[in-house]
Amino acid sequence: MLYHLLIPLHTIWPIFNVFRYITFRSIYAAVTALLIVLVFGPRFIEKMREIKAGQAIRDDGPKSHLKKQGTPSMGGVLIIGAVLISTLLWANLKNVYVWLVLWVLVSFGAIGLIDDIKKVRFRDPKGLSGRWKLFFQVLISLTFGMVLYRFHLVDSSLSVPFLKDVHPELGPLYLPFIVLVMTGTSNAVNLTDGLDGLAIGPFIVCAAVYTLFAYLSGHAELSRYLLIPHVRGAGELAVLCSALVGAGLGFLWYNAYPAEIFMGDVGSLSLGGALGAVAIIVKQELL
């Protein structure tokens, strides 16, 4: 939004030229998301306590986890909100990749939200059945892949890390591969979540790495020099990934030991899905 509002003013005030730079907007996207989570975090946690949206602990888990019963959950809502606001403020909203990843973020988050609401309302630690969660994950991933494939937004070859001349062509098999990557990444974050800072910590590192890859992939000269696939327009995803990093750092402040809140499935599924979507777009699925 700010990009579109302020760029036209550069002819009057040259200082607004800085909004052309992805690096500038990425830094401020991270700072914006960080501040949103830090500022609104305490009120959000208090609200979750008021509605008794506490973490449900499975009976078959370690006994040491039982003390976390009742810790506010659904912190992913705060993360998603911060990422959406920050990205809409700082990203180029004409970029199709940005909208696709935001759609994945919200869609996977909706699955997790239904799961979390079921856990909170019915006090059911199992929440939404795994079969239904997987069904919706596959459906969203398949839709995402079909859009990429139909409009030729990515090619169907793979980039193998450390092997610069190896680019296997998957052809029609690339679509199920997309589904595998996105559902796998989403569920990986989901399975990791549950302990203080356990999921959000590694996620921040991964999001930071993909921020770098998004920027490099979108830069024609740097991608050619580093022998990584060039994806025109993918650089704008660095802004979104930076927002993920900033929101993650802000959430870690409240999720570190002793955790005041957990992200819940609404957070873990959405963050994992978004990370998988970015990996596919920048052609670093195997990273």
Q: Identify the burial level of 253 via C-beta atoms within 10 angstroms of its C-beta, where 0-12 means exposed, 13-18 middle and 19 or more buried.
A: middle
Is 187 annotated as a binding-site member?
no
Q: Identify the burial level of 191 via C-beta atoms within 10 angstroms of its C-beta, where 0-12 means exposed, 13-18 middle and 19 or more buried.
A: exposed
Is 190 annotated as a binding-site member?
yes
pLDDT band of 60, cuts 50, 70, 90: very low
Q: In whole angstroms, how far apart are CA 271 and each of 76, 174, 224?
A: 8, 22, 29
Which tokens in the block code for residue 254? Answer: 């409240």
Contact of 194 with 264, CB cutoff 8 Å: no
Residues 6+ apart with CB under 8 A from 162: none
Please give the pLDDT value at position 3: 82
Which tokens in the block code for residue 167? Answer: 């680019």
Instruction: Name the residue ranges covered by the structural domains of the chain.
Output: 2-281
Please give the pLDDT value at position 232: 95
In tens, the pLDDT along 83-127 reads: 999 999 999 999 999 999 999 999 999 999 999 988 887 766 677
Contact of 217 with 283, CB cutoff 8 Å: yes
Please give the pLDDT value at position 192: 87
What is Dmax (Cα atoms) for the chain?
65
* Type of residue numbered 35: L
Average pLDDT over residues 144-170: 90
pTM: 0.93
